[in-house]
Amino acid sequence: MAHCRRQPIAPDTVLYESFGGRGALCNPEAIFRAAHADVRLHRLEHVWAIDPAQMGSPSVRALAQTPRVRVVERGSRAYWMALSTAGTLINNATFLPQFSKRAGQTYLNTWHGTPLKHMGFDMPNGAVESANVTRNFLAADYLLSQNPFMTERMYLTGYRLRGILPGRILELGYPRTDLQHDGGLVASVRLALDDAGYDLAGRRVVLYAPTWRGATFGRPQNNAAELLATVARLQAALGDEVRVLLKPHPSVARFARELPEGHGVVVPDEMPTNVVLGLADTLVTDFSSIFFDYLSLGRPIVFFAPDAEDYSIDRGMYWPATELPGALCSDEDQLAGALRTALAGDEAEALAERRRRWQDELTAEDTGDSSARVVELLFAGASPVGGAHAAGVSGSAAALPGSRTGSPGTPATAAAAPPAEKQRLLLYPGGMRPNGITVSVLNLLARLDYDRFDVTVICAKPRSAAEARTQALVDPRARLLLRVGGMNGSKANQLVRRVFQRPGLIRVAQRLGSQRRLWQAEVERCFGGARFDRAIDFSGYAQFWAQLVLAAPADKRAIWLHNDLAAEANRPVNGRTPMKRSLGAVARLYASFDSLVSVSPALSRINEAAFRGIAPRSRFVSARNVMSVTAPSATAEEENGPWLSRMSEQGTFWFITVGRYSAEKNQERLIRAFALVHAERQETRLILVGYGPLHARLTAVVEELGLEDSVFLTGALSTPLQLMEAADAFVLSSDWEGQPMVLLEAATVGLPIVSVAFGSVSSALPGDELHVVERTVPALADGLRAALDGAVTAARLDIADYNRSALTEFAEAIDEGAVR
């Protein structure tokens, strides 16, 4: 692919792809048909991408014999060459994750229907399901919209494109609907179907076109036999004067074609759906967006949805089923009756009026010439601007959008430019594992001012259930983009990238033109043409993501330093320093960031001293973490219950610590200090909330000291704050920390706090709220005794006031405002 991307752009080549290569279908086919027939455009070469399984079909073979048309197998070398060099790209779904539009290419994404079902981020698990779709939309120069509702509810809201979309949304109607208004074409297709054994002569046609069922589009439920059985029963009920045809969703059609009952019933895939709509006297569907196309014909629609309530709950719909523009049927007897009424022209006036209203609102541009308007825009230089909508096209989930401005047939656009007053943030939150950084970024995202900031969060697709759960906690007002696919680029450039990841070489790599182009291509692959005002690496631990943030198109870039990074890099683990190389490489990138943001002023001074030779002093700033105290969930209540019961024992004094069981937290020192105190005061107890690699070691120390009845390791708990509230004092024994959120949480519940003197302890809490001791077992034991004797004052923290300050510090830090 790297070789293909080095070839010159062919401005007169057009690449079309429909439904992942299933054929010449939908809007791309209609645009192709119009462009190919236009005598002004005979200079164009038309290339169709076809799935290997479809290459032998009669329609594809015929297409390949058409003058000025070439067919390439999707995924082949010829395909990648065409995708990399065609001047115009047209798709009704998505190009593969490897795709990245090049300078000089124009990309039109037509999509494949006005949605009735929830789309994009409105779907369950929407960020994961929509990752490559959103990526394609951001790469597109134009997004085609059938109507204002689709513009607002699907593109701008459902896929969260408002505020970030670099391209334009064109309300030009749907080119594929031109086919259903072409009387000559419809008549010829009717004859072709009749000749193929569909027996349509002299009969009225009912078209049954249901959508797919299943968990995802890629794994549809095979309900083909059920659909064919329904068709057979309908055919028997309606009699010989009517012919019932089945047009399943493309993801299910292959199953239906394989069954003998499908012969003469299942409409061939290569037959354009909209031509078949044109010959249908009545449409039967469930939740397929096909009915929006059919509306423009002004003919009856019947909705057959036995599972309407369940489907609406599982997938969600933008309109209640009871408000759809046709009779709603829940069983086949109702369906047969509704069809008889519709075919006889006896539809209730209220129902007909509702359908006409939907038709006027949603198909005003589907007037038979949409393809011509798109062709004029793409190839003849026509301006897309006619009767134009403002950026915020109206529309809601439960009501039809408002009336259009301009007249039907007038090209219209909907600009999706961000409101000028919003600052666009791109933020990498880290790996989203359940840890302190993840808690901090979730708290920040929950409390940002979304009237001030437009926030895009970029991270990897979840690799574990734990990561998926934390990603699901990202505030829904933020736009969560998941990186799919991998970097493009030649093997030589990728080898150079890996070799130059070493700390001493990474700055050299940044100066290489080939490496700058490699990262720029990756940014364009991930974000298309989107631009940001600020790019933020909130993790600060991963070299790949730090480099991606640096390459992002933004005015300023910031990286967070959550710890004493020099100490972290040199931390020994089993006699080795596993973080030294990776953190060393990240540190070498500090000079390229505008702000190096530590999470407390004291920590900023420590990191500045450690890295003063890499970046100037003025770039070291601080912004404390935002915090949150939430009510425990039912799961947390269940987890914490046994421990809370134990902690309620009369006459006991409970010390608590919360943190990962790892070397830098040094809970072993705390256990040994507690042993000294417990020998004197038998009523004392110690509970260690957390999990981690040293669980077995800490358990062994407890057993060695004979403290099994007074020291307890809980393992991971989702909401330990309940246990803090039940404790008598909080203790922290870490060798180093950034800004330990557990101290803030302990302060919110008013606990006395004893802490060892880690490097940034002086700004761990506002004011002088900590009892600080030296990092030795005897000193920590003295701190525990002070808490027992009531000599440690309970900490206090006003969360609202603290968060206001922390959010101000965040905004100043990303704008290079030093908070020292």
Domain ranges of the chain: 2-175+369-414, 178-362, 423-593, 634-800
Same CATH fold, 423-593 and 2-175+369-414?
Answer: yes
User: What dotted CATH number matches 423-593?
Assistant: 3.40.50
Q: Which residues pair with 457 in a beta bridge?
A: 427, 480
Q: Which long-range contacts (C-beta less than 8 Å, at least 24 apart) are formed by 516-523?
A: 516/551, 518/487, 518/489, 518/493, 518/494, 519/547, 519/548, 519/550, 519/551, 520/551, 521/5, 521/100, 521/487, 521/488, 521/489, 522/487, 522/488, 522/489, 522/548, 522/551, 523/548, 523/551, 523/552, 523/553
Instruction: Report residues of the chain scoring pLDDT below 50.
Output: 385-411, 418, 817-820
Cα–Cα distance for residue pair 167/143, rounded to 1 Å:
7
Q: Which helix (H) or strand (E) holds 354?
A: helix 349-362
Amino acid making up residue 500: F
- Residue 442, SS3? helix
Among residues 156, 68, 80, which one has the least CA distance to residue 120?
156
Helix (H, G, I), strand (E, B) or coil at 506: helix
Architecture of 178-362 per CATH?
3-Layer(aba) Sandwich (3.40)
**Contacting residues for 774 by C-beta, under 8 A, at least 6 apart:** 756, 757, 780
> Phi first, then psi: what are they for 538, rounded to 5°?
-80, -15
User: Cα separation of 223 and 256, whole Å?
Assistant: 8
How far CA 550 is from CA of 307, 501, 526, in Å, comes to 49, 15, 14
Identify the residue whose tokens are 């006297």: 281
pLDDT in tens, 461-499: 999 998 999 999 999 999 999 999 999 877 776 776 666
Q: Give me the DSSP letters along 160-201.
A: --TTT--SEEEE---TTHHHHT-HHHHHHHHHHHIIIII--T
- Which run of H or of E encompasses 309? helix 308-315
Into which CATH architecture does domain 2-175+369-414 fall?
A: 3-Layer(aba) Sandwich (3.40)
Calpha distance 404→647 (Å, rounded): 65
In this prediction, residue 579 carries a pLDDT of 77
Residue 596 has a pLDDT of 98
Q: List all residues 6 or more positions away from 360 whose beta carbon is below 8 Å from its beta carbon.
A: none
Cα–Cα nearest to 33, from 339, 360, 368: 368
Q: Going along 593-726, which residue ranges are E strands?
A: 595-598, 620-622, 653-658, 684-689, 711-715
Look at residues 192, 207, 152, 174 and name the one whose alpha carbon lies nearest to residue 26: 174
Residue with tokens 């000025």: 68
Long-range contacts of 780-784 (CB under 8 A, 24+ apart): 780/669, 780/670, 780/673, 780/731, 780/733, 780/754, 780/756, 781/673, 781/674, 781/676, 781/677, 783/673, 783/731, 783/754, 783/755, 784/655, 784/673, 784/674, 784/677, 784/684, 784/729, 784/731, 784/754
C-alpha–C-alpha distance, residues 234 and 699, integer Å: 70
Asked if residue 416 lies in contact with residue 155, where contact means CB atoms within 8 angstroms, the answer is yes
Q: Is 307 helix (H, G, I), strand (E, B) or coil?
A: coil
CB atoms within 10 A of CB 335: 26
Question: What number of CA atoms fall less than 13 Å from residue 773's CA on the CB side?
Answer: 23
734 contacts 666 by C-beta, under 8 angstroms: yes
Token duo for residue 52: 């290997």
- Hey, what CATH topology would domain 634-800 get? Rossmann fold (3.40.50)
CB 689 within 8 A of CB 657: yes
Task: List Cβ neighbours of 583 (8 Å cut-off, separation of 6 or more).
Answer: 541, 565, 568, 569
Q: What angle do CA 242, 325, 348 make, to 5 degrees?
A: 70
Dump pLDDT digits (tens) for 244-281: 999 987 777 777 777 888 889 999 877 888 999 999 99
Q: Which residue pairs, CB below 8 angstroms and at least 24 apart, start in 768-772?
A: 769/793, 769/795, 769/796, 769/797, 770/743, 770/795
C-alpha 540/C-alpha 427 separation (Å) is 11
In our burial notation (b when 16+ CB lie closer than 10 A, e otherwise), range 274-294 reads: bbbbbbbbbbbbbbbbbbbbb
Cα 356–chain centre separation: 36
Q: Letter for the amino acid at 806?
A: A
What CA dihedral angle connects 221, 222, 226 and 230, to 10 degrees? 80
